[in-house]
Amino acid sequence: MRGIQSADNFGPAPSPLSELAQEYKWPIISSEAFHGLAGEVVQTITPHSEADPAAILIQFLAATGNVIGRSKYYQIESDRHHPNLYAVLVGPSAKARKGTSWGRVRSVMKTVDPQWVADRTKSGLSSGEGFIYGVRDEQPDGIPRRRPLKLWIGASRISG
């Protein structure tokens, strides 16, 4: 599979993104991470995208976990492991293709659950109030309705 290499095969970034990238080896996820449905999705998208396969994988796993929600879990002994995953992709603006990876995964998720993409994905939240508004109970006619507390928040740039 193009772009996915063994963890034993560390090497420099395919195209240096900055002086920092030139100093450090580009991280490569073990090929075992690309198994099952998630691996098939990454394998299908990778030849047609500039996005890093690891970024596509992480975006897909996090989005899938958000769609599934916390009602499902895998139990190991007394612990319940829910599919929710919190992820942050870090890289230089306009060069790391973080948004590109989300765009490709978003198109897949739109075929899986178009309602989730339309109603439960948000970007550009500027405050805690924006987050609370996204998960609030709707009451347009005075009748409280519980919204799912799952919300996908995408922030293409974060500055501090």
Judge whether 152 lies within some domain. Answer: no
Judge whether 70 lies within some domain. Answer: yes
Number of C-alpha atoms within 13 angstroms, CB side, residue 91? Answer: 19
Q: Are 97 and 55 in contact (CB under 8 A)?
A: yes
For residue 70 the two structure tokens come to 């916390």
Judge whether 141 lies within some domain. Answer: no
Per-residue pLDDT tens digits for 103-148: 999 999 999 999 989 888 877 666 777 777 767 666 667 666 665 6
Q: Are 97 and 53 in contact (CB under 8 A)?
A: no
pLDDT given for residue 13 in this prediction: 46
Kindly state the helix (H) or strand (E) to which residue 154 belongs, with its residue range.
Answer: strand 152-154
Phi/psi of residue 117, each to 5°? -60, -40
pLDDT given for residue 10 in this prediction: 45
Judge whether 9 lies within some domain. Answer: no
Residues of the chain with pLDDT under 50: 1-2, 6-13, 16
Task: Show contacts of 80-86: CB within 8 Å, 24+ apart.
Answer: 84/150, 85/58, 85/61, 86/62
**Using CA atoms, how far apart are residues 9 and 28, in angstroms rounded to an integer?**
8
Judge whether 92 lies within some domain. Answer: yes
pLDDT given for residue 39 in this prediction: 95
Share of the chain above pLDDT 90, in %: 36
pLDDT given for residue 71 in this prediction: 87
Domain span at residue 74 reads: 19-113
Total structural domains within the chain: 1
Judge whether 128 lies within some domain. Answer: no
